[in-house]
């Protein structure tokens, strides 16, 4: 299992592409039968269909945790195909999902007690919304899988229930015209599916809007923190070398442990900046004034430098203080800007506009800050 | 729940009211409730909430809606600018959207 992140991999040069190439899609339907989430087989007009559990077991849960931490995340796939939940009949509804196991697990755990079919498309292990945006959850793929599974022979109706967030990739009217299958967009959240089905396939308005609550905003913090490990170690290394160079310039004795301690102390305000950018900015998102995410990050960064230089450290001179004001908000602004990819509401046009002013400002501020920090060791 | 709003007046969304037949599909697929039915046609009533996902345009049987679809992810834009391929999950990323349950 490769240790791949699918976001923020710029600091991880040793990795291959973080996108799992298509040819590595080795999961096949044949060895699925032994998977922990398969409970049995169902005979249909078009051959056997695997029945899946509607509860998650320990293996599913550890898999989810690993995926959340970015471990083997792009390999977390299930074979595309038709699956059964319970004992579906030819008249039972058909739900369509992605072959990212995290998406599939979140769907099936909401389906206890129901009898239905799940058609899993080959989205290359990407979740529904992103796959729809990227084009792998598409009308063509939907048509291909309907054909490949002989769905038309297994079910007697012609209705497919798609997650609403698949709509950027699928054209309902084109699907109907070309395959005869009617696409109905279900709720955004899997948890609303039972209510949707019992309510005659009608989604209430609140089922159509992705929530972005505190847990939603923080669920990606672990993966982002893991991704910051290397830049953090790099910064500690830089402080170590600078401290050592400063001692050498002073002709002072070099004691490894005190050098390391000093470097870690120098790193402390930056460590806090990383936590602020990755945890606090998303957590306080609705409460920080302004709309651009880089701006929100910058605001918290400036506040942190204020707190740090006034209340926490007393030894910082004017140069170091100035360097903190330049470097730290640049980091929190960058991390804030980076959070655009994790939100449910930012548009591409908005991000491009935000970056056009934020990115040059961040680069300039960070560069000046770095020069100031380095100079501070020798003045 | 309070709706998050991003930058003002930036999105590329347009609707041609002459083509619209008021079928309501755009209102159904829009995750941000940008459209409302005004009389017999749909109109854009919360433009700044649009995230340019492109669901409305793709599902409009009348082809009355235009939007340049994309994923609002700074990291993907940056990688694109630096011409680094394969670092994301494709030319559009946003794959951190795992937090959207389900489906």
Instruction: Report pLDDT digits (tens) over A117-145.
Output: 999 999 988 889 888 988 899 999 999 99
Percent of chain A, pLDDT > 70? 91
Strand partners, A158: none
Q: What is the pLDDT of residue A321?
A: 93
Asked if A341's CB is within 8 angstroms of B96's CB, the reply is: yes
Q: Which one of A95, A172, A341, A346 makes the best mutation probe of the B interface by having the most chain B beta carbons within 10 Å?
A: A341
Asked if A341's CB is within 8 angstroms of B75's CB, the reply is: yes
The interface predicted TM-score of the complex, written ipTM, equals 0.85
Q: Is A318 helix (H, G, I), strand (E, B) or coil?
A: helix
Domain ranges for chain B, please list them: 1-70, 72-103
Element (H, E) at A51: strand A47-52
Mean pLDDT of chain A: 87
Nearest to B56 by CA among A188, A173, A264: A173
Strands A81-85 and A116-120 turn out to be antiparallel
CB A299 within 8 A of CB A288: yes
For A156-165, A221-230, B89-98, which range has the lowest pLDDT when averaged over its residues? B89-98
Nearest to A163 by CA among B55, B51, B36, B4: B55
Q: Is the pLDDT of residue B90 over 80?
A: no
Q: Residue A174 class from Cβ within 10 Å (0-12 exposed, 13-18 middle, 19+ buried)? A: middle
Domain ranges for chain A, please list them: 9-210, 217-376
| Distance separating the N- and C-terminal Cα atoms of chain B | 21
Q: Which one of A164, A184, A351, A360 makes the best mutation probe of the B interface by having the most chain B beta carbons within 10 Å?
A: A351
Q: CATH: 3.30.200.20, 3.40.640.10, 3.40.50.10790, 3.30.70.20. Which one for B1-70?
A: 3.30.70.20
Q: What is the pLDDT of residue A295?
A: 97
Q: Which residue has the tokens 């599902």?
A: B59
Q: Compute the distance between CA of residue A244 and CA of residue A134 in angstroms, rounded to an integer.
A: 48
Rounded to the nearest angstrom, the minimum Cα separation between A16 and chain B is: 8
Q: CATH: 3.40.50.300, 3.40.50.11600, 3.30.420.40, 3.40.50.10260. Which one for A9-210?
A: 3.40.50.11600
Interface of A with B in 229-258 (CB under 8 A): none
Nearest to B6 by CA among B72, B90, B70: B72
Compute the average pLDDT of residues A49-53.
91
When comparing pLDDT for A7 and A366, which is higher? A366
Q: Compute the distance between CA of residue A223 and CA of residue A287 in angstroms, rounded to an integer.
A: 24
B94: nearest CA in chain A?
A341
Asked if B102's CB is within 8 angstroms of A163's CB, the reply is: yes
Name the phi and psi angles at B63, rounded to 5.
50, 45
């Amino acid at each position: 299992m490769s240790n791949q992140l699918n976001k923020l991999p710029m600091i991880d040069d040793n990795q291959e592409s973080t996108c799992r190439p298509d040819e590595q899609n080795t999961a096949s339907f044949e060895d699925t039968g032994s998977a922990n989430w398969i409970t049995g087989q169902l005979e249909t007009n078009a051959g056997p269909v695997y029945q899946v559990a509607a509860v998650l077991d320990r293996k599913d849960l550890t898999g989810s945790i690993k995926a959340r931490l970015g471990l083997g995340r792009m390999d977390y796939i299930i074979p595309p195909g038709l699956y059964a939940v319970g004992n579906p009949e030819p008249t039972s509804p058909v739900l369509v999902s992605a072959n990212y196991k995290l998406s599939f697990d979140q769907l099936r755990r909401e389906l206890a007690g129901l009898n239905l079919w799940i058609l899993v498309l080959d989205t290359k292990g990407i979740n529904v919304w992103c796959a729809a945006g990227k084009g792998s959850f598409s009308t063509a793929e939907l048509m291909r899988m309907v054909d490949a599974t002989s769905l038309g022979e297994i079910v007697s109706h012609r209705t497919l229930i798609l997650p609403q967030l698949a709509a950027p990739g699928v054209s309902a009217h084109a699907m109907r015209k070309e395959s005869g299958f009617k696409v109905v967009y279900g709720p955004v959240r899997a948890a609303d599916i039972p209510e949707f089905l019992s309510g005659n396939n009608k989604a209430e308005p609140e089922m159509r809007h992705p929530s972005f609550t505190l847990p939603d905003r923080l669920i990606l913090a672990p993966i982002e923190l893991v991704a910051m490990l290397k830049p953090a170690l790099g910064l500690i290394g830089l402080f170590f070398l600078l401290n050592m160079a400063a001692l050498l310039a002073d002709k002072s004795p070099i004691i490894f442990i005190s050098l390391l301690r000093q470097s870690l102390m120098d790193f402390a305000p930056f460590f806090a900046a990383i936590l602020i950018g990755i945890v606090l900015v998303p957590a306080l998102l609705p409460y920080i004034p302004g709309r651009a995410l880089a701006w929100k990050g910058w605001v918290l960064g400036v506040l942190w430098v204020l707190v740090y230089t006034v209340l926490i450290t007393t030894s910082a001179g004017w140069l170091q203080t100035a360097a903190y004001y330049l470097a730290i908000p640049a980091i929190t602004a960058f991390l804030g800007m980076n959070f655009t990819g994790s939100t449910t509401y930012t548009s591409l046009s908005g991000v491009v506009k935000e970056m056009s002013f934020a990115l040059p400002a961040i680069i300039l501020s960070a560069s000046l800050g770095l020069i100031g920090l380095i100079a501070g060791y020798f003045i | 729940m309070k709706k998050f709003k991003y930058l003002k007046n930036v999105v590329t969304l347009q609707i041609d009211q002459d083509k619209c037949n008021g079928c309501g599909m755009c209102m159904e697929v829009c995750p941000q409730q940008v459209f409302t039915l005004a009389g017999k046609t749909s109109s854009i009533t919360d433009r700044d909430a649009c995230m340019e996902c492109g669901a409305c345009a793709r599902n409009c049987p009348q082809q009355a809606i235009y939007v340049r679809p994309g994923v609002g992810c700074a990291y993907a834009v940056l990688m694109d600018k630096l011409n680094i391929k394969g670092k994301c999950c494709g030319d559009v990323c946003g794959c951190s959207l795992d937090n959207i349950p389900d489906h």
